[in-house]
Structure 1
Amino acid sequence: MALQAEAKLRDVLAHFQLEGSVASIIPYGSGHIHDTYAVANDQPTCPNYLLQRINHHVFRNVPLLMENIGLVTLHLRQKLQHIPGARPDEEVLTLVPTQDNLGYYRDPDGNFWRVYLLLEGTRSYDIVETPQQAYEGGKAFGKFLALLADLDASQLHESIPDFHNIENRLRLLTQATRLNAAGRVAQVDKELRFVWQRGEEMSSICRLGRAGKLPLRTTHNDTKFNNVLLDRHDKALCVIDLDTVMPGFLAYDYGDAIRTTVNKAAEDEEDLSKIKVDYELFRAFTEGFLQETSAFLTEEEVNSLEPGVRLLPYIMGVRFLTDYIEGDHYYKIHFPEHNLQRARAQFRLVEVLEENSELLLHTIQQTAHAFKTAAAAQQQER
């Protein structure tokens, strides 16, 4: 890192209530949106930190975003304090306040920064390798949702309005196609036909929500598998990346987690023949997830999970395609057609999930029924 850039980061860190002193600052992680740095402490008895520059072009109201994170982390910590054996300091992200006791610092250039305690000895996976990892990921996201089930979603702000609203995403795609700002529409005729053939079916969760048949809950809304930190034994420890925690439908969280769990290929895989559904990973994640959530899920929510599995890669494909057509303004790219490659990979995953939809639905319903039956039997014994 250039000395001038490091000096600027050190100046930013001086505005936070850090213990010890900064030994080094290095780029960290593989996120698409924020700039993240690991901050090593010069004092061995003091914690290390995670510094992030929040992308305020994506999250346009950072103060409200940080208010959400503060509310959610406080709720999670309070709930965990009443659970025997829980470790709130390791299972929940810890925000480090600024010298002014705020959750973020805004620098003279208008950039927003925040600092978390770095959770040591953890790991995350971009690609799930074992059913054990998948199961633990399911438990982690399921427990996260269960702990937040009694947090009134109306208390939270929409950090990105209509984030998973596919009807709005399709409107944005239509607009981008009409404007054709980057002159790329002629290249994506096949992808556009794929999208419009499924638009009505993929809007079913939106319609159920409007009809009041799906409850609006406090949801994570970005449940990529790499947003779960596992310990060195691959046991789930902490759900991270809370920027999109806001009101949503549970099928969104389940669907996005499955999207990044069951596909053994990368999210931007160029060789579409490598994109397959690993059923053992699907079953393991579903068991972990429903073990934690089945007690409070409605029957309609259980039935919405399989459509959610197909919806989330479809949404991501639409988003990647829209960004490509508009000229790659949203996602960081590594080569000119990166977003188009990402979109094609997501659409292929939709096709593979469609081919397996009956098996996936049966597994979800059977697993949910088994956990509900076991819970009812335990209740009777008491």
Structure 2
Amino acid sequence: MTGGAGPAGELLGRVLLTRVVEPGDEAGGRWVREYGVAEVVRRLRAGGPALPGVSAQRWAGLLARAGRAEPEADLATAQAAGVRFVAPGCTEWPGQLDDLGDARPLGLWVRGRPSLRMWALRSVAVVGARACTEYGAHMAATLAAGLAERGWVVVSGGAYGIDGAAHRGALGAGGATVAVLACGVDRPYPRGHIELINRIAEQGLVVGELPPGDHPTPSRFILRNRVIAALTRGSVVVEAAHRSGSLVTARAAQRLGRHTIGVPGPATSGLSAGVHELLRGGATLVTDAAEVVELVGDIGELAPERRGPVLPRDLLAAGTRRVLAALPGGRTASPSEIACGAQTTRDDAIARLYELRALGYVERHGDDWKLTRQAVLSARGGRGTG
């Protein structure tokens, strides 16, 4: 490995550290911040006394890893696979990852042509359960497609279930999507998603902290989620049980000051229980992409106002609606009785009754008036059951 503190030496040093230090290791991040990459690499290579904050046993493990690391070979392997290494300070580095402090990635391996920094500026995470329901998969795909159509980048973890549905939704809409993996980006995991992840690499970006060929572990999946949360403006959880890993993403988003968003499900569904707990804890409820964009987007990107259907009686003048409401449902009534109920004069009530008759709401029975059957049914439908 070439040494030195210049750009080339800094880059190779960070490549070496991705092989030595686990993702999210705050001790390693603190060493880099306090001593610099070159000094940390020198101590790991020299095998001297342990750096602060680790036991002798752990330090010995780090030294063993450093002794086996071949950063030049990792870069060559990555280049052959169409993968580049993006480090803090590079023009492509997304500055929002710096919010992670000492848990910030030492660098990211990136597969795909677009600029990660530019895409991350307008991105939203869509995450959730691996063993999702049909409802969850439908909502994830629909949300992702809607976000993509509005020019937003959909970020997820490439896993089965909600992640896969979100990626496919964005791709199906011809939009942009980023998969953040917990393994080397040249060896996609899960194996059943190789075709999907290769398609993402062709149309979008595949990103990871681990060097080429490295494998996923349970802890790496959990730590990967902090990158998803930091990279995006907000995290949408579609389905999640109480112990779902996607809740880790949501909580990381909360800590980072990002928007934390939940899609409700059936109250009886265990796969929505974690989402509902998030919502009770202050996350924002959404039902479609427009509502997500209203939260994470710029001023003026508002969701359309939600309202029920406009009924014919809604178009009546206020005084005419009061006269209509004053007619009893099952019998005739005199103009005087109707006027009293509508709080108007008898003459005004009669004038409005003739208007209502022309519209089919009332009929005349001698000197009295009665609602038509159509009006009775319409009133029941408009009032509902509440």
**What is the TM-score of this pair, normalised by structure 2?**
0.24
Larger CA Rg, structure 1 vs 2: 2
